[in-house]
Amino acid sequence: MNRLFVVVIFFTLSVRAEGACFTIANETRLAPVGSFPAWSPDGSTIAFTADIDTDKPEIYLVTVDTRDILGLTRSFDGATNPTWSPDGQQIAFRSRGRPSRLHIIARDGSSEREVPGAPSSSSDFEPDWSPDGSRIAVVSNRLGEMGIITVDPVTGEGERWSSERELKLDQPAWSPNGTTIAAVGGGVFQGEIEGRLYLLHGPGQAELIARGVGYQWPHWIDDGRAIIYSYLRRSTFRPGVIEVDNGIECEAGPEWGGRANPIVSPDGQRVVFSGRDGEEFDGLWIADLIRSPSAVGEQSWGTLKREHVKMDGQPRPAIRIPSAGKPMIVNP
């Protein structure tokens, strides 16, 4: 039986003024309501979830330049969590039936189908299409236990990357090179105050890169060198950025207003997000994303911990890397 082993690696880091610190400016409302936005690969269109002209959530498309809104799905139980195929011709989403299932629909609203291979009692949540188009990462119990799996969009064949028994993770997001999946553990949606940000480097391999209050909705930016996310501050969501290699974090927006689920455009110039006014989302917003070289990231947790989780049946020693000198094995 595979067992889960954790290797903790400590890095002593210095805060620096360069790197992935951004500011959000020139915000305008893109749609009156909306959540879970997803940019098309060509940056011309945003898919999102809303109940604009129905009594249940559906998938809509909004053209960025003209602000024209088109309803894409009309399902019995509703639809949510859209994610684009790399060629921009299809959108995968979660059907909100009981159980919820992974569906795919053409960009023009035709040829909707359910991804096969799901047992009758299984459910699919929070899909994200891989950059090469060959897999869709999804939180699912298709393979028995709930966890993050990757699914072939044609055959439905699945591969487990994490299991809830070992590590409860949500909101998978593929890296631009398709080798890593970012995911969150804990946080408000799992009933915890503390949130944790992980990288999955393959099936059964997880790395904890940050912990704090309410990490949610990770999304890769800066060609995979950083991740933008939402976090809770004074009971509202705000955007933040973490550099993947060194763990330096910074706030990515002004202090006023709440912003949730920030998703950066393919060219890195704009960001779309759900505005939040108190406890209610107040529409879908778009803004310019401006790199701020003068902004300084802060490590709120002090020394960064890198926890490598391996399900290879073999425990590995924890490594401590001091501020100077060679790495030391501290608990062989």
In this structure, what CATH number is given to the domain that contains residue 283?
Answer: 2.120.10.30
pLDDT score, position 256:
43
Q: Which residues pair with 125 in a beta bridge?
A: 139
pLDDT tens per residue, range 201-230: 999 888 888 877 678 899 999 899 889 888
pLDDT tens per residue, range 276-315: 654 556 789 998 887 765 444 443 323 333 444 444 444 3
Q: Which residues pair with 51 in a beta bridge?
A: none
pLDDT score, position 330:
29
> What are the phi and psi torsion angles at 224 (to 5°)?
85, 5
The per-residue pLDDT of the chain, averaged, comes to 78
pLDDT score, position 125:
94
pLDDT score, position 276:
61
Give residue 20's pLDDT band: very low, low, confident or very high (50, 70, 90).
very low
Alpha carbon distance 269, 53 (integer Å): 31
**Overall number of domains in the chain:** 1
pLDDT score, position 10:
35
pLDDT at 177 over 90: yes
The answer to whether 33 and 269 are in contact (CB under 8 A) is no
Look up the domain containing 39 and give its range: 5-329
Q: In the chain, what percentage of residues exceed pLDDT 70?
A: 73
**Whole-model pTM?**
0.82
What tokens were used for 109?
Answer: 């609203």
Residue with tokens 């979830």: 49
Nearest 5°: the CA angle 48, 158, 199 is 65
pLDDT tens per residue, range 88-147: 999 999 998 778 899 999 999 999 999 999 988 889 999 999 999 999 999 999 998 899
Alpha carbon distance 216, 193 (integer Å): 12
pLDDT at 237 over 50: yes
pLDDT score, position 243:
83
Q: Which residues pair with 239 in a beta bridge?
A: 230
The answer to whether 23 and 288 are in contact (CB under 8 A) is no
pLDDT score, position 186:
77
Alpha carbon distance 21, 228 (integer Å): 10
The answer to whether 27 and 287 are in contact (CB under 8 A) is yes
